Each structure stands twice: as structure tokens, then as C-alpha cells.
Amino acid sequence: MHRMIVLGVDGLNPDTVKQWLDDLPHLKKMQKEGIWGDLESTLPPAAPQAWISSQCGQNPGAYGLWDYTYRHDFSYAEARLADSNVVDERVDRLHKTLPRRGQKVALIGVPVTWPPPEIPAGYCISDFALTSEKPGFTWPKSLEEEVHNLIGEYLFEARETSFSHGRRDRQRVKKRIYDMDQQRFTLLKHFIHEKKCDYVLAVFGGPKVLWRLFSQEGGRKNDWLHDYYRWMDANLGEMRSGLDDDIALLVYSPYSIGRREGQINLNEWLIHNGDMTLHEYPKKPTAFENLDVDWSKTKCWSMGNSGRVFVNLKGREPQGIVEYGQYDRLLDDLRERLSRIHDENGSPLQIQTFKREEIHSGKYEEYGPDMFVHINRPQWNANELVGYGFGLTCASGQDEGLDGHWNGLYGYFCMSGSKVPARGELKQISVLSIPPTIMEVLGLEIPVDMEKPSILYMAKQEQRKSRASRKERVRSRLKALGY
């Protein structure tokens, strides 16, 4: 019987891990003893869909979420908030799949687990609520008292603490980040050793919160991040030293994090090019939901900050004007025009575009964006705001909104344990490979709806290829020698 412990680290950057690896001895040891590498995220690498896909093994079209809000019909806004009830009605994450196979499960702070799902013979301490309703944050309800007795008041995200840009407030928030993640380590060990769970997933928010709150600090911010990485590594080592031989350990982040350096103001660009029309242009940067759009003259629009474009399709949207016969032609035209966008200095932005059916499929894909815009230039993304005076792009320093963070397309993973071979770095691994990997480590049959092979399977395939390549090189050398 094997068990699986998973540390989800929100925004762990693979390049930063490589840069600081000598200061992370426990993670370095895991890499030497197991398998590690970059982890390809969903596209776009938005937090909700990346975490959900890394727990169900399916693309976002299977459950219909591309942000913390979503469309359940073809209205012009994502009017509903995503929660665990919506996700669990649509797709099976591991906390549903594993109990059916007799596994005891615990979740700690996993995104989109509010309200806490009812896990048979299992446990959940939810992530933050997106609404003001807080009927309880644990399953079962009695777990709340147990959590309180163990760690005191449970801390959700550090953003719950009000702060200004003053040094004192930043130090207070920094302390809360450490307190919050220390609680998760304490709870993680409790579910491993006291509750004897077969599968535990705890998500730590330190890197992402540090980037989001301290992105203006320059070199000092790097010191804070470096300190956090070392702190996380020390806790990882302490926890790992107490694990039984039957436990495998996985550390992963479904995307990286960094300071946003620039953005395409996508709706500004659509207005500038005649694809979107407003009754009145706003006097300051304004979110899409507050724009006065003239739908009778609008072909397409964008929502969110991850490059999502929707077509105002006749017969689908309430006031659609684009004929079905023009749909693909419009998307192809948008693709060609977007490829020519330059930044404010005239440098190309290396933009990729993907039609929905090219990357997503499933029961709920029809409610998703018709096109995704991905900027290959690091640390740039798209923005839905209008009101920049037709400023089609913004760089750092031009807009206060750019003091935030940016989600990168590649996160990081590292796995070790008795069932994990020492294969070293493995390339081209998707977040969709995380769930089948966990199933295989636990000795369970992998569900057919999981779309990618497990990491262990891919490691075996790479080993076979390597052996075949070595044999071919030997044959070639022997042939050259006349044998």
C-alpha cells in the first residue's frame, strides 16, 4: 500500500528554482533521487483552471471555467462565481475519484474548494471564499474545532489583511504569509501522521502573494523571495525526514509567477480596429462589465486579463451580428492582425492565437472564449480595461495596474519516493499528467477521461528511447569498424 503527499506551491518559478538550487538542499536532493522538470500549464495559465486541471486531468472545456467567474449561457458577462459545487457537478477531481477507490483524502487550502466539498471518510480545509458568505470552512464541520485546537485561528490568503505601501504594513503582511504557510505545514503533518491519509494535498501561497504585494520592491523583493524559498525548502526537508518508506512526495506549481512588465489593452485594440463599438468612451480605465457597449456594431470583445476573445455570433449571443459563415473568417482575420501588434517602442510582441477548438474540448467548451491570445514575450499579458485614450499597449510605469503579477506558462514539478525512479529532468510534462501520476503511485487504475499519460509512464518511455538510441549508436560504430 502506497501513499501520496503533494505540496502545491502557488507560483513556484522553475527558473528561480534553478538559479537558487544550491541554497535549496532538500529540493536538490529530491531532484537527484527522483524526477523533475518544467510543468506546462493550461492556456491561458489562469489560476482557477490550472489548479482544477491539475486535479482532474482534463482541459477546461470539460468543466467550462476560464476564471473565477464564468458564463453558463451566452450572455455578455461572466455573471456567476465559480465554486466547488459547480466544479464537482461537472468534473471529477481527485477528491471525488480517490474515495471511490477506498482512499482516505485530505485537502488544505486548495483553490476552488469553497464551500468545502463533502469527501467520504475524508477531510477538507477550504480556500478563501469569493463571497461574503462563510457558513464553514471545513469538511466535516467538526474539523473546525480540531483545526482551532491545533493551530488557533486558521488564516486564509494574506490579501485579507488591509495594508498600504508603508514599510510597517508590508512587514505585517510578510509575517502573515509565513504564519499562513506554517499553519499548512502543521496541518499537512497532522493529516499524514495522525489521520493516516492516503492522499494529502496542501497548497502554499507564499511566492504568489509576495510577488503580488511587493512587486515594487526591486532587489529587496528578491531577498524576500529568496528567504521564502529557503524557508520552504527547510520545512520540506523537516517534513520529508519523517515520512514512511511507503510515501511518495510531489512538489508542483501549475504556473510560474513574475512581475508584469506590460500588457495589450485588448478591448482598446478591438475598438481602434472597428471590431468593438461603445456608446460612450469612458474617462478613465474601466472594466468591461462597466462599459456601455453598442452590441449592434460590435463583432467581438474581451473579458479578463488572460487574452480571452468572444465573438458576438448571430443566433448565439442575444444581439449577435456575426453570421455563422463569417465566424472562421473573422477569427482568421483577427489572428493575422494581432500578429502584427508592436509595443509602444515598435518592437514585436510575438503573439500567438488559438481558436478554442484547437486547444479545448468537452461538454462545456461552447461557453468559453472563441479565441485565446497569448503573448510570448515574457511577463506581458492582455487586459480588458478601456479608457487609456486608445493606448493599445502599456509598459511598466505607464499604468498603476501593472504593479501586479503575471502568470507564466511553465510551472515546476519534482517527485521522489520508493515508486519513483531516479530519472532526473523530464521535458514536455503537462499539468494534466499530475492526476494520472498520483493514481499510478497509489496503485490505482487511471480513469479513461484523464487526457495525458502519467509522469512515470513518460519516464519509462524516455528510458526506452534512450536505450534504443544507445543501441543504434553501438550498431553504427560496429558497422563503421567493419563488423
**Count, residues in the chain:** 483
Q: Pairing between strand 380-383 and 262-265?
A: parallel
Give the up-direction half-sphere exposure of residue 228: CA atoms within 13 A in the CB hemisphere. Answer: 29
Instruction: Please give the pLDDT value at position 266.
Output: 95
Instruction: Please give the pLDDT value at position 349.
Output: 86
Q: How far apart are CA 232 and CA 185, in angstroms?
A: 10
Structural domain boundaries in the chain: 3-260+407-459, 262-403
- Residue 197 Cα distances to 95, 238, 330, 447, 448, angstroms: 12, 19, 52, 21, 25
CA 146 to chain centre: 30
Q: Pairing between strand 123-125 and 138-139?
A: antiparallel
Q: How far apart are CA 147 and CA 154, in angstroms?
A: 7
8 A C-beta contact, residue 61 and residue 455: no
Instruction: Please give the pLDDT value at position 163.
Output: 47
CA 143 to chain centre: 28
Residue whose C-alpha is closest to residue 248's, from 94, 419, 102, 413: 419
Q: Pairing between strand 138-139 and 371-375?
A: unpaired
What's the average pLDDT block by block, 10 residues per block, for the chain (483 residues)? 93 93 97 97 93 98 93 89 94 97 97 94 86 76 96 76 53 88 97 97 90 61 86 96 93 90 91 96 94 98 93 97 97 95 84 95 95 85 88 66 72 94 95 98 96 96 68 63 66
What are the grid coordinates assigned to 63, written together? 468543466
Instruction: Please give the pLDDT value at position 165.
Output: 47
What is the radius of gyration, based on Cα positions, of the chain? Answer: 24
| Level-2 CATH architecture, domain 3-260+407-459 | 3-Layer(aba) Sandwich (3.40)
Strand, coil or helix: what is 322?
Answer: strand
Q: Per the omega criterion (within 30 degrees of 0), is the bond before 282 cis?
A: no
Q: How far apart are CA 231 and CA 219, in angstroms?
A: 18
